[in-house]
Amino acid sequence: MDWTEGLLQVHACPAPVDAHLLRLLGQKSPALRTRLRSGAQQLPSRLIQYPAAPSRGRISVSSEDLQCLAQGEFLNDVIIDFYLKYLLLEGVGGAVAERSHVFSSFFYKQLSKRRAAGEDVSVPDRHTRHQRVKTWTRNIDIFNKDFLFIPVNQEAHWFLVLVCFPGLEEPKLEEFSPSSEALRAGGGLRSQTPPECTLDGCRKSSVLKRPCVLVMDSLKLSHHEAVCRLIRDYLHVEWESRRGSKRLFSTETFKTCNCRVPQQDNSSDCGLYLLQYAQAFLQNPVVDLELPVRLDAWFPRQHVRDKREEIRRLVLRLHREQSG
């Protein structure tokens, strides 16, 4: 990479690593120090680190990242990762969030990379891919979680893959009792009737809980078969590594469903829809996994239209709090 791009990568490191690396670079020679000063003028201004220190896994959001929140711009991976983490930790919280795990957008990027020249060709492909990301879950057993959120960017298009009940080996029926709030909502206090398969919309006395992969995509033209296959392969090896036994994650035992979800009406809001799908699930999750899953009326389109400004205000508020 060129000098400016290298500086951007250094600047993106969490403190105090960034300052240490820049200091080392500046001590190399007077020429480098001069170039560093001129290149630093092009560096993005860091606004926040989230979550705040001393929490682990912090994400740095810069003023440059905020530019992608302008109308018509595509969301970048920093905004996607930041807002998903915020939803889980603070934005929604509650029981569903506690039973969920959110992967970084880089997870699928690493998982889907082609085999590199130096990688052992005698090792099965699924194990090679798992090797690249195995440390990402060293502090968590994903099979103890009910939901895994995986943001995917394929051919410059964002969509959400949601793995449900990865630790469950077969479907089972569970008793279900609609909450009083859900019954009131169904009585006409909401402007939009919640989908029947969700917590707020379900009126059944029993619901189906099953291990499966839900794909939530705001464009119907996208293809997901290869993505879901790689995720099943990952789960296969992760189970073997974590549990020490064999388990088959096949299309029969771990079904895929392309959910019917609200669709985008332009060419730039796919990342916003991904974030809104995640938020809607945390607030009003699918409780009945009879396939196919229909979520057409999950949320009004205005929620997505408001999201750019909502995220911008959130980042600036956190910036004031962290700067104070």
Catalytic residue list: 157, 217, 270
> CA of 188: how far to CAs of 73, 174, 256, 300, in Å?
37, 27, 33, 16
Report residue 186 as tokens: 């169904």
Measured CA to CA, the distance from residue 287 to residue 284 in angstroms comes to 9
Measured CA to CA, the distance from residue 308 to residue 201 in angstroms comes to 28
Which letter, b or e, does each residue of 56-71 get, where b requires 16 or more Cβ atoms within 10 Å of its Cβ? Answer: eebbbbbebbbebbee
Q: 9: part of which helix (H) or strand (E)? A: helix 3-11
Q: Which distant-in-sequence residues (6+ apart) come within 8 Å of 161 by Cβ?
A: 108, 149, 150, 151, 152, 213, 214, 215, 216, 224, 227, 228, 231
Asked whether 161 and 152 are in contact (CB, 8 A), the reply is yes
Q: Which distant-in-sequence residues (6+ apart) come within 8 Å of 107 by Cβ?
A: 133, 136, 150
